[in-house]
Amino acid sequence: MAQIAHDDSNAVVIIGSGAGGGTLAHELTRRGIQVVLLEAGARQSMASFSQNPGEAFGQLTWLDPRTTSGNWSVREDYPGLPSWTAKTVGGTTVHWTGATPRISPWEVRSRTTYGAVDGTSLIDWPIEYSELLHYYELAEKRMFVTRRHGLPGLPASNHFKVMYNGAKRIGYKRVHTGHLAVNTSPMDDRGMCIQQGFCVQGCKTGAKWSTLYTEIPRAEATGNLDLRVQCHATRIEHGPDGRANAVIYRDAQGNEHRQKARLVCVACNSVETARLLLLSESAQFPHGLANSTDQVGRHYCRHTAGFIWGLFDKPIHMWRGTTLSGIIEDETKHDPKRGFAGGYHLELAALDLPSLPLAGIPHTVWGRDLGFFMEHYDRMAGMLINGEDMPRSTNRVTLNRDVKDRNGLPVAHIHIDEHSNDTAMRAHAQRQGRAVYEAVGAIKTMVSRQTPATHNMGTARMSKDPRDGVCNAHGRAHDVPNLYISDGSTLSTPGSANPTLTIVALALRQAEHISKELKAQNI
């Protein structure tokens, strides 16, 4: 691994090592570009992952304080955890489920497709779907995605069979074990999925793709990567010309450092990316870096979500098998006759027993009703709604200057007022999900409210017009020519697909662009 001096102004500094940052680091270093990769969390491994749910949560989760407001139910149900993101080398690719569906063609033209939906800030993406599709295919081959490019799907678990049979009985046709970045056999110097479940606690076999043990070690092997763990970026500086020239960060001991940079790529996950840009205010950017049009932090999306549970009279053991190896795609369409714009997926979901009452069951369920569900844990089946929520300029990440982190800096504040379209979509999905389970004999069903955000998108979105977003089609900031956004913040609209595949695809595309620009000495 390289050791790059703090005063080396030729380095590319990437902040965050997840799907975007980790992929970008590998792509640049393999092209001979020197990279400093800053990661706020510690480095775990397949050996160190804990399978104790509570311990794993503490090991991988971003636990720095955040606050929230708005009419979304998360404000009441999870005020201390409005967004569940990771703080570890590999970022959220360590605790994700491996789900890799593609955004649909009409979803990147949502403004054109849906029209002017009152109270939203819909725009069309500034890239063509045909170009995105090219990078989807590159990403899928890199990640060994099931049911793509000749790879088989994962085996059907008991849990999936319940979903499949119920879905078929109510007329759904597009039901399968999903597109997942999870090995069905040993590949890519990684093990195969052994169907033990509990995927969000870190994959003990490495079957699930993660930058932790794919992109980052390969970047280190080039000799061009300087990975600095437990190093929390607190500010991006710029020179008189308005170009980014350094990143200020704190190490594990709280010592402050200044790393010079040729260019800076921010990949902190949408909440912390917006926070870092807002913290990087200056005389030239008094409202935050790259924020001359007041777009940083706005249009925050998190997907319309919620659990659907069914109880049965025979064991299912939903925890066995890959957590998300099942999907219903029939509702992934735009059909205004349903009473809302956009579409949603119904995805297989399972929670460990300790987490179920904390994250999966409404707080209004208690006493004997709660006990009944807990007693039937082995006979429970679950699905998660994953739907396109509407971007709104007032749904945003700002700084809460009344609450500080351990570095004395204002924390991220997440404000969401849920759009009526989101509410209508969730209600429709809940009815359909319940119908799936009732069709195969569920003795009881239950639904949850919106879950803490795990898919964070849109706070520094791509746009043709700088008045609509923060960066251009390559993630390059409209205001700062050598500042790039390299994570889900750039998604112009969320679509209904889990975002990781799109983030990786865009990172591959961005790496090509940056390499060409550096070679041409344009940045």
Closest CA to 496 of 324, 298, 329, 273: 329
* Lookup: tokens for 87: 């703080």
Q: Given this model, what pLDDT does residue 246 score?
A: 98
CATH of the domain at 431: 3.30.410
On whether residue 129 sits in a domain, the answer given is no
- Domain hosting 322: range is 149-203+304-387+418-452
Asked whether residue 517 is domain-assigned, the answer is no
**Exposed / middle / buried, residue 171 (Cβ in 10 Å: 0-12, 13-18, 19+):** exposed
Q: What is the mean pLDDT of residues 94-119?
A: 97
Count: domains in the chain: 1
> What is the rounded distance in angstroms from the CA atom of residue 54 to the CA atom of residue 47?
17
Within a domain: 154: yes
Q: What are phi and psi of 67, to 5 degrees?
A: -125, 165
Per-residue model confidence as pLDDT tens digits over 247-295: 999 999 999 999 999 999 999 999 999 999 999 999 999 999 999 999 9
Q: Binning pLDDT at 50, 70 and 90, where does residue 358 land?
A: confident
The mean of the pLDDT values for the chain is: 97
Region 454-469: mean pLDDT is 97
Residue 362 reports pLDDT greater than 90: no
pLDDT of residue 316: 97
Q: In this predicted structure, what is the pLDDT of residue 406?
A: 93
Which pLDDT score is estimated for 204?
94
Please state the rounded mean pLDDT for residues 410-432. Answer: 98
Tell me how far apart the alpha carbons of residues 403 and 68 are, in angstroms, rounded to a whole number: 12
pLDDT band at 363 (very low <50, low <70, confident <90, very high): confident
364, pLDDT greater than 90: no
CA distance 37 to 22: 8
Cα separation, 425 vs 389, whole angstroms: 9
Q: How confident is the model at residue 180 (pLDDT cuts 50, 70, 90)?
A: very high
Res. 366 pLDDT band, cuts 50 70 90? confident
250 inside domain? no
Q: What is the pLDDT of residue 365?
A: 86
Please give the Cα distance from 460 to 485 (Å, whole number): 7
Task: Judge contact between 91 and 17, C-beta under 8 A.
Answer: yes
Residue 366 lies in a domain: yes
CA–CA dist 375, 377 (Å, integer): 6
Give the C-alpha separation, 96 to 233, whole Å. 23
- Model pLDDT, residue 236: 98
Within a domain: 235 = no
Q: What is the mean pLDDT of residues 56-72?
A: 96
Which range (17-31, 41-55, 488-502) has the least confidence?
Answer: 41-55
Instruction: Tell me the chain's radius of gyration from C-alpha atoms.
Output: 22
Does residue 153 lie within any of the structural domains?
yes
pLDDT tens-digit readout, 329-345: 999 999 999 999 999 99
CB contact at 8 A, 190 and 182: no
CA distance 346 to 110: 21
Amino acid letter for position 439: A
Q: What is the pLDDT of residue 81?
A: 94
**523 confidence band (pLDDT: 50, 70, 90):** confident
Angle (CA) 493 142 50, round 5°: 85
Tens digits of residue pLDDT in 195-222: 988 899 999 999 999 999 999 999 999 9
| Position 175 in a domain | yes
Percent of the chain residues topping a pLDDT of 70:
100
Which ranges of 439-472 does DSSP label H, i.e. alpha helix? none
